[in-house]
Structure 1
Amino acid sequence: MTVSVVVGRIGRAHGIRGELAVDVRTDEPERRFAPGSSVVASGGRTLTVATARQQGQKFVVRFTEVPDRNDAETLHGQVLEAVVDEGDVPDDDAFYDRQLVGLLARVGDADGPAVGTVVRVEHPPSQDLLVIDVRGTEVLVPFVTALVPEVDLEAGHLVVLDRPGLLDPGSAEVVPTDDAGSAR
């Protein structure tokens, strides 16, 4: 059986020949963006990699189906997914979205109280976000080690550190501001 996994997010068009800057979301960019490989854009469009090269933190990719800059610009912001075998697992400290969805979110440590369940993972440009259902309210938690230090797939939970306002935005500390809106 196969499943789709997020491998990147399309950034701006690069040049006039239809190349695109891609923010890579995989530990195997050379494999996922190898010439001849296919990915699916969030609009459902299948794209075949013609060329790919690393440039700084991003990959510059040209797809066979994208002939020019005008077509490339229509893809800006779309998430790219690759189809992988369900048995494939990522490297240590990396997870597929499907592995995280359904995990209990525990506060503090592995024995802490369960406060919610991961319902999906979002992939905005800056960092991945866990969407956790906490008593019927969706809360966004940056999926970074500083806030989510432990993920235990076998036990079916992850640990979220207890930070004011993180899991209960209504309890966040309010910083007083002056008339201009600057923090005092």
Structure 2
Amino acid sequence: MEPGQVVVARIGRPHGIRGEVSLELRTDEPERRLAPGAVVRLQAPRGAAPGPSTLTVERTRWHQERLLATFAGVSDRTAAEGLRNGLLSVEVTPEERPEDPEEFYDHQLVGLAVQPLEGERVGVVAEVLHSGAQDVLVVRRDDGREAMVPFVSALVPEVDLTAGTITVADRPGLLDPED
């Protein structure tokens, strides 16, 4: 994926016969990122036939607890099936922030220095994993090992984008799992 691109959804199975698809959201802002008229980049799944590189959202609607979407030019179930498992991404400028001040985009966290409440830098955020329960920061320690830190306020009380740091409340085994 290109720098500045943020994945907002994975296309699921078709819904009905008129080209509508279900979306597995990877954004907390679907109404902003997938609004009618929005142009999203499509990363087709491996092995898929070549297709469009961008899609224009025609409409979205909630059905039970799933977001369904219709894209311009995708008018039947066969065309919708061809999009299945594709990733949708949007361009996000480095200065852009989510509306909630307690939320961050993954690209803003990756590369930040990690330091315990008391002490010096121990590493950097290498990746953000999204699991069902909560997000997890993968910390690449300066000694080459990795630590997994649940991204919850009790363990990560401060994120300072200006200073380029994340403060972690070091609990035994959290930042140094082998100690």
TM-score (norm 2): 0.72
Write out aligned runs for 1:1-184 (5 A): 3-43=4-44, 45-73=53-81, 75-91=83-99, 92-107=101-116, 109=117, 111-123=118-130, 127-134=134-141, 135-170=143-178
The whole-number CA distance in structure 2 between the counterparts of 1:69 and 1:163 is 51
Runs of 5+ unmatched residues, structure 2: 46-52
- Once the 2 structures are TM-superposed, how far is the Cα of residue 30 of structure 1 from its aligned partner? 1.8
The whole-number CA distance in structure 1 between the counterparts of 2:62 and 2:23 is 9
Runs of 5+ unmatched residues, structure 1: 172-184
Contact 1:13 1:20 in 2 (8 A): yes
Listed one character per residue, the Cα deviations across residues 28-67 of structure 1 (whole Å, up to 9, x for unaligned) are: 3222111221112344932221210133544211223544
Amino acid at match of 2:110: V
Contact 1:12 1:20 in 2 (8 A): yes
Moved more, 67-76 or 83-92: 67-76
Q: Does the C-alpha gap of structure 1 residues 35 and 160 become closer, same or farther in structure 2, counting only changes over 3 Å? A: same
RMSD of aligned residue pairs (Cα, Å): 3.1
Amino acid at match of 1:156: G
